[in-house]
Amino acid sequence: MPGLMNKEIIFFGGKGGVGKTTCSSAYSLNLARKGYKTLVLSTDPAHSLGQIFQVQMGDEPRKLDANLYGIEIDPEVESKRYINRIRQQMQGSFSVNIIAEIQRQLDAAYHSPGAEEAAIFDRFIEVIDLVGKEYQRIVFDTAPTGHTLRLLSLPELMDRWLQGMIERRRNVNEMMRMASVVDKSLEERIKDDPVMRILLDRKQRFEKAKKFLIDDKRAGFVFVLNPQQLPILETEKAISFLERNGIPVEGVIINRVLPEKTDGEFFKKRKEVEDRYMKQIEEKFGDRILYRIPLMEYDISGYESIDSVARIFG
Ligand SMILES: Nc1ncnc2c1ncn2[C@@H]1O[C@H](COP(=O)(O)OP(=O)(O)OP(=O)(O)O)[C@@H](O)[C@H]1O
Ligand SMILES: [Mg+2]
């Protein structure tokens, strides 16, 4: 799939358990073997990239294979880190009162809807900044569809979250400005407001990511699905959602396809059922079908089984 190979950033999405981690790690291995220095990144709280490559994963890149590195991000840990990072940036330069006030603002930010996504997205922006520099390709193994779509509806969601924070901050500053007429000490707070500066900085970063995702079309989305009803429906919905939001969808990978020849009556019937779903997939997604991956005899975990899938990607 030359089109897909040219994308610098590829997201693997899909319903829970369809094979996102399997496909994204195999695809990454394939990229690495083709000579692209690749980073594979998982935002799934149920970590499993590490299991496949038998490497203890973490927040910083670990080597998984020649040319291949991996990161696992824990959204909860990441949002704490995110808030702490902002907090640290503030230390030192302001009076105790102001820091206490910033602290309250940050706590509110941490608990407001969208904070976890903002944190992951912040890390995501850091990571995409590495493409073309440290890495030639970045592959995202995402969490099941709902979560990921929330993450990727960022142009809207994040803008709204940040805009809310910015407006709230603006109101606070406006009240302080009025109060500073009688209390001169408040002037320091509104002059070059650090919270506002950080919020505006975040907004700028989000806009940069949006440009990368949507405008430059250097990123693309691949859906993994199984020949079953629910994954088909979910994929259909997700694709139309992404397209409405201007995020390019590269295509779908059908995973766990039964072999052509099956033993016994049970599998013969099962195969007939599957054929009906395969037909549906062809009708709905047609030339967007990128690969068909057979159901293997064993669970895919560990290097050898990933290797067999990587070969399918050619
Ligand atoms: N083609 C296949 N043949 C056999 N087993 C498979 C195949 N694809 C995936 N599996 C197995 O199915 C299970 C789920 O796969 P995987 O972890 O890749 O799914 P996922 O979409 O990442 O799941 P989650 O939504 O929980 O992150 C794993 O145990 C994996 O080994
Ligand atoms: Mg997974």
Percent of the residues in the chain that have a pLDDT greater than 90, as a whole number: 37
Residue 167 CB neighbours (<10 A): 11
Residue 307 in this model has a pLDDT that exceeds 60: yes
Rounded to an integer, what distance in angstroms lies between the CA atom of residue 229 and that of residue 41? 28
- Per-residue pLDDT of 92-134, as tens digits, reads 555 666 667 666 766 666 666 566 666 777 777 788 889 889 9
**Which whole number is the average pLDDT over 177-181?**
74
Cβ 11 vs Cβ 297: under 8 Å: no
State the pLDDT at residue 102.
Answer: 66
The pTM of the full predicted model, rounded to 2 decimals, is 0.81
Q: How many domains does the chain have?
A: 1
d(CA 276, CA 283): 11
**Residue to probe by mutation, ligand 1, list 25, 292, 299, 305, most atoms within 8 Å of CB:** 299
Top-confidence residue, 98 or 207: 207
The distance from CA 91 to its chain's CA centroid, rounded to whole angstroms, is: 30
Contacts 24+ apart (CB under 8 A), 81-89: 81/119, 82/115, 82/118, 82/119, 82/122, 82/123, 83/109, 83/110, 83/115, 83/119, 86/198, 89/194, 89/198
pLDDT at 32 over 70: yes
Q: Is 19 in the pocket of ligand 1 (CB under 6 A)?
A: yes
Query: pLDDT tens digit string along 283-295?
Result: 999 999 999 999 9
3-class secondary structure, 53 = helix
C-alpha to C-alpha distance for 248 and 289, rounded to whole angstroms: 15
Q: What is the CATH number of the domain that holds 178?
A: 3.40.50.300
For the Cβ of 15 lying below 6 angstroms from any atom of ligand 1, the answer is no
How many angstroms does the Cα of residue 45 sit away from the middle of ligand 2?
9
> Which residue range(s) make up the domain with 81?
2-312
Per-residue pLDDT, 92: 54
Residues surrounding ion ligand 2 at CB below 5 Å? 20-21, 44
Give the pLDDT confidence score for residue 291 in this predicted structure. 96
